[in-house]
Chains A and B, each alone.
Chain A
Amino acid sequence: QQQVKQSPQSLIVQKGGISIINCAYENTAFDYFPWYQQFPGKGPALLIAIRPDVSEKKEGRFTISFNKSAKQFSLHIMDSQPGDSATYFCAAGGGNKLTFGTGTQLKVEL
């Protein structure tokens, strides 16, 4: 049972462009929404996270937009760079554990 749906599965963006990854969740008990970044051969690492009491959180070039009524949240990467090429996972948490999306492979081309 997939409780967090993530799209697209893969994404190619030109350097300097905006990368957008979307996630939707079903369980209204979720109250914590982190994004993890994974480089090849490495484990995922926390990138940015948001609580449902705010609609947006920005850290540098990375922004999370959150729509509680629609049960959707998204990651925006502004001025995308080749070094941003990685797999991105959204997740939703409530209680003791996180439920992850299936991941998005982002490639930023020169």
Chain B
Amino acid sequence: DAGVIQSPRHEVTEMGQEVTLRCKPISGHNSLFWYRQTMMRGLELLIYFNNNVPIDDSGMPEDRFSAKMPNASFSTLKIQPSEPRDSAVYFCASTWGGGSYNEQFFGPGTRLTVL
């Protein structure tokens, strides 16, 4: 069992550049979550997909952020243009079922640094 796979593990970019983070959920899981972790705000839910459909994107900070899930085994989170305040660790998590009651399995995260 490979678990949730995220790439890249580390990303350093300059302000204004486009950043794309990638996630492969656990096979068979049909719900996928993108979170952002910072010291000040902890873990924040950005967007949640169920059966590849975005269900709740109320946590997406602004229009610079976008997320897609073209199929059950792949999702991307894109930031364009990136800003220094976007620096954080971004986690992808997956689970089976659409509710909050099932254990969410987190990937190892992508540490993003925007200079």
Majority secondary structure, A binding face: strand
- Number of residues in B with C-beta < 8 Å to the partner? 27
- Is B25's beta carbon under 8 Å from chain A? no
Which A residues lie within 8 Å of B35 (CB)? 100
Contact A96 B50 (CB under 8 A): yes
Interface size on A, residues (CB 8 A): 21
Can you name 18 A-B residue pairings with CB atoms under 8 Å?
A32-B101, A41-B108, A43-B107, A43-B109, A44-B43, A44-B91, A44-B106, A89-B43, A93-B99, A93-B101, A96-B31, A96-B56, A96-B99, A97-B56, A98-B45, A98-B104, A100-B42, A102-B42
- With A42-B108, A43-B108, A46-B104 as given contacts, are A96 and B43 in contact (CB-CB < 8 Å)? no
Give the interface of B toward A (CB within 8 A): 4, 31, 33, 35, 40-45, 48, 50, 55-56, 91, 93, 98-101, 103-109
User: Which B residues are CB-close (under 8 A) to A32?
Assistant: 100-101
Contact in complex: A100, B100 (CB < 8 Å)? no
